[in-house]
Structure 1
Amino acid sequence: MSFDSYDDYEQGERIQQWLRQNGVSIIVGIVLGLLLIFGYQKWKSHRADHDAEAATLYEQVQVALATNKAADADAGIDRLQTQFTDTTYAVFASADRARVAAEANQLDKAQVALDWAQAHATDDAVKGLVQLRAAQVRLAAGHADQALSTLDTMPKGAYISLAQELRGDALVKLGRIDEARKAYQAAIASMDDSAPQRGVVKLKIDDLAVAGKQGA
């Protein structure tokens, strides 16, 4: 037997020995890997079906709200909150409940709905919008200090112009006029030149100047 043949034979024996020693663990590893892949695909399929069902239910809630079927809308929102808590559709539905309650001047009910939405929102953009609405409701309820605290917790850079304008409104309620002016100016600075709200905020700044002269 040549050295080359011997080397091949020896290598083959070593491979066979290694397989005998590690073959079971290799097979187990392959099986586990396949199970993980299969499980992940199964989870993805389940998740897609779960989200699709939530989307359909949320659409039904929208139709119920649009046709003034309050009981149907509430039932749909309750189901989204209990069975589809992990979806953004549940957050949207809770925010819709808050909007309807606020329009009916049921501010406490609106706040409860927004608190739920804020606690379950995972996307920063959605969370920021919910917090902005919560600050608006708190200000409407006469809690300007709570509105400011809520605005302080918003994700950095979220809805800057709206948040700054609302901050200015809250500061006016608290009599902190100089801070309110700065907030309004920050709101304008973050808006496009063509933004319709620019004129509204400028009027608010002008009102502060008039109020300052009257108070002098």
Structure 2
Amino acid sequence: MAFDAYDDYEQGERVQQWLRQNGLSIAIGIVIGLVAIFGWQQWRNHQATRELEASNLYQQLQTAAAAGKDAQVDQLTERLQNDYAKSAYAIFAASDRAQRQVEANQLDKAMASLQWARSHAGDSPLKPLIELRMAKVQLAAGKASDALATLDAGAAKGYEPLRQELRGDALVKLGRVDEARKAYQAALAAMGEDAPQRAALQLKLDDLAVAGKQGA
């Protein structure tokens, strides 16, 4: 081949010429690569540090909640939501706040807390669970149509029995009994045979059957 015909001197000259023409580009490429690697490592370290900080705050929140220190709980929740909004611990804190608000019958505030949690959950596995909790709050507030819309818009992977049961509850409140029956049956079909919720769900189906006979 032509390249094989060059003697050592000619090959050396070619290499030096190529390096003179491309050496700066090579050096810049190496520097950029090193900066990218270093920057990635720094970013990961920063993220790990912030996640640890959020975890510590959430542990403090749980300790304060167990001790009945409501003011401190609210303060820590606000800090997590404001300073660590992308952390799963902020979502946990917002969901915990929603639960306390439900217990205090503050359903509108509970919905606001859950909506914040959903909007910050991204593609997290927590999102379907948050949506199920939203539907529960909407049902408790007498907003069955809203609850049904929430359930039908979400994709509650891993929670299909609960989603279908809640759909049945919403449909019963809307007077759509046949559809409610199908939802309850779908919930039963999605459950394991030894699921503890089967008995309560079967009672709902039985109640529908009794109501149907009475209405006949």
Q: Is the deviation greater in 44-53 or in 146-155?
A: 146-155
> Which consecutive unaligned segments of at least 5 residues does structure 1 have?
none
Residue 214 of structure 1 is matched in structure 2 by: 214
TM-score (norm 1): 0.96
Residue 102 of structure 1 is matched in structure 2 by: 102
Alpha-carbon shift at residue 6 of structure 1 (Å): 4.4
C-alpha RMSD over aligned residues = 1.4
Alpha-carbon shift at residue 4 of structure 1 (Å): 6.9
Contact 2:164-2:184 within 8 A present in 1 as well: yes
Residue 116 of structure 1 is matched in structure 2 by: 116
Amino acid at match of 1:136: K
Pick closer, same or farther for the CA change 1:164–1:124 going to 2, 3 Å.
farther
Contact 2:128-2:154 within 8 A present in 1 as well: yes
For 2:173 and 2:208, locate their aligned partners in 1 and report how far apart those are by CA, in whole Å: 12
Deviations 1:176-203 (A, max 9, x none): 0000000000101111111000011000
For 1:124 and 1:38, locate their aligned partners in 2 and report how far apart those are by CA, in whole Å: 28
Alpha-carbon shift at residue 5 of structure 1 (Å): 8.5
TM-score (norm 2): 0.96
Contact 2:138-2:147 within 8 A present in 1 as well: yes
Residue 47 of structure 1 is matched in structure 2 by: 47
For 1:78 and 1:65, locate their aligned partners in 2 and report how far apart those are by CA, in whole Å: 14
Q: What number of residue pairs does the alignment pair up?
A: 214
Contact 1:125-1:158 within 8 A present in 2 as well: no
> Which consecutive unaligned segments of at least 5 residues does structure 2 have?
none
1:25 and 2:25 correspond: yes
Alpha-carbon shift at residue 12 of structure 1 (Å): 1.3
Contact 1:124-1:155 within 8 A present in 2 as well: no
**Equivalences for residues 1-216 of structure 1 within 5 A:** 6-155=6-155, 157-216=157-216
Tell me the percent identity: 60
Q: Is the deviation greater in 60-69 or in 91-100?
A: 60-69
For 1:35 and 1:14, locate their aligned partners in 2 and report how far apart those are by CA, in whole Å: 31
Alpha-carbon shift at residue 86 of structure 1 (Å): 0.8
Contact 1:160-1:187 within 8 A present in 2 as well: yes
For 1:67 and 1:209, locate their aligned partners in 2 and report how far apart those are by CA, in whole Å: 47
